[in-house]
């Protein structure tokens, strides 16, 4: 079954201001259309329920990667290819580059956007675990102004998030505080390329005098949203990454995630893989 194209409307604003005015004038009627790598799949399958879209692909205000002494800021329309080729991101935020390289094939990487991956709000998305582990912030804009908020907490449930109908995601900001961190990113799928993850795991950590000074642990595809495992992080703080600590951390992780059985995998498999990845990550911090 395919969608009937005349049932849909796509309008292309000349500027960000024009796009925001349209969103404000008819709240809930219009939704943004960026790279379209997810929406076009639904359209082809006849499952794209919403009918009216704003084509934001050409809005230069939502593009670009800028760096200051303290942050790297990415426009919401930054593609996965642009993420991979940026020298600062490759050097300081390697997990985000790895996530971008493992998202789809080259065509999707050239067209898919970081902002689209966020607002599509899939718990199996590849870049959100890395962004959460790097303590990303996001900027939402509307005709009422702009607001920055932590990415942690933005997603509230499956396909639900803290964004109003008249707002667009404009930028993503990463603090340049990754010096001395160990970076660990693993995507587990049916195959290496062009697969939706069964489990996606991103973590950073730092040790001092043999103890865990800092960890940030994020797991995708194991709950209705991508999960930042703050209780497990708290349990690890100040501990030595020995076998006893790893066992306790895995027990904590089990309490923070809620995997399900679906067409791609089973809850039991996801739970075991998540524990294995956590144990492997903590083992790397012992060296």
Domain boundaries of the chain, sorted by first residue: 5-55, 60-175, 182-284
CATH no. of 60-175: 3.30.465.10
Q: Is the pLDDT of residue 192 over 70?
A: no
Q: How confident is the model at residue 287 (pLDDT cuts 50, 70, 90)?
A: low
Q: How confident is the model at residue 141 (pLDDT cuts 50, 70, 90)?
A: very high
Query: 134-159 b/e with 16+ CB inside 10 Å = b?
Result: bbbbbbbbbeeeeeeeebbebbeeee
Report how far residue 97's alpha carbon sits from residue 115's, in angstroms, rounded to the nearest whole number. Answer: 15
Tokens of 214: 């800092």
The 10s digit of each residue's pLDDT in 202-261 is: 999 999 999 999 999 999 999 999 999 999 999 999 999 999 999 999 999 999 999 999
Those residues whose C-beta lies under 8 Å from the C-beta of residue 79, and which sit 6 or more positions away, are 35, 109, 110, 111, 112, 113, 114
Tell me the whole-structure pTM to 2 decimals.
0.95
Residue % of the chain over a pLDDT of 90: 87
Architecture of domain 5-55: 2-Layer Sandwich (3.30)
Q: Span 151-156, mean pLDDT?
A: 97
Report how far residue 219's alpha carbon sits from residue 230's, in angstroms, rounded to the nearest whole number. Answer: 11
Q: Do domains 5-55 and 60-175 have the same CATH topology?
A: no
Superfamily of domain 182-284 in the CATH hierarchy: CO dehydrogenase flavoprotein, C-terminal domain (3.30.390.50)
What pLDDT is attached to residue 270?
97
What pLDDT is attached to residue 134?
98
- Tell me the CA distances in angstroms from 201 to 109, 171, 179, 183, one per residue in order: 20, 24, 20, 11
Q: How confident is the model at residue 121 (pLDDT cuts 50, 70, 90)?
A: very high
């Amino acid at each position: 079954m395919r969608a009937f194209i005349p049932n849909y409307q796509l309008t292309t604003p000349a500027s960000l201001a024009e796009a925001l005015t349209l969103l404000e004038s008819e709240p809930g009627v219009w939704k943004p259309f960026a790279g379209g790598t997810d929406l076009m799949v639904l359209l082809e399958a006849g499952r794209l329920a919403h009918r009216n879209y704003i084509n934001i692909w050409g809005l230069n205000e939502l593009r670009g990667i800028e760096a200051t002494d303290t942050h790297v800021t990415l426009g919401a329309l930054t593609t996965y290819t642009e993420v991979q080729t940026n020298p600062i991101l490759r050097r300081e935020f390697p997990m985000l580059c790895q996530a971008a390289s493992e998202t789809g094939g080259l065509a999707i990487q050239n067209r898919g956007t970081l902002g689209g991956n966020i607002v599509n709000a899939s718990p199996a998305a590849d870049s959100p675990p890395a962004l959460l582990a790097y303590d990303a912030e996001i900027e939402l804009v509307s005709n009422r102004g702009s607001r920055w908020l932590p990415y942690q907490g933005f997603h509230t449930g499956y396909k639900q998030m803290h964004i109003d109908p008249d707002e667009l995601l404009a930028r993503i900001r990463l603090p340049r505080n990754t010096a001395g961190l160990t970076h660990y990113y693993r995507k587990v799928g049916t195959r290496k390329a062009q697969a939706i993850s069964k489990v996606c795991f991103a973590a950073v950590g730092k040790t001092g005098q043999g103890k865990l000074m800092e960890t940030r642990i994020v797991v995708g595809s194991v709950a209705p949203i991508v999960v930042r495992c703050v209780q497990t992080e708290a349990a690890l703080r100040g501990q030595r990454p020995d076998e006893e600590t790893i066992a306790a951390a895995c027990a904590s992780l089990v309490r923070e995630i809620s995997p399900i059985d679906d067409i791609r995998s089973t809850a039991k498999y996801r739970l075991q893989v998540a524990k294995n990845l956590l144990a492997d990550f903590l083992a790397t911090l012992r060296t």
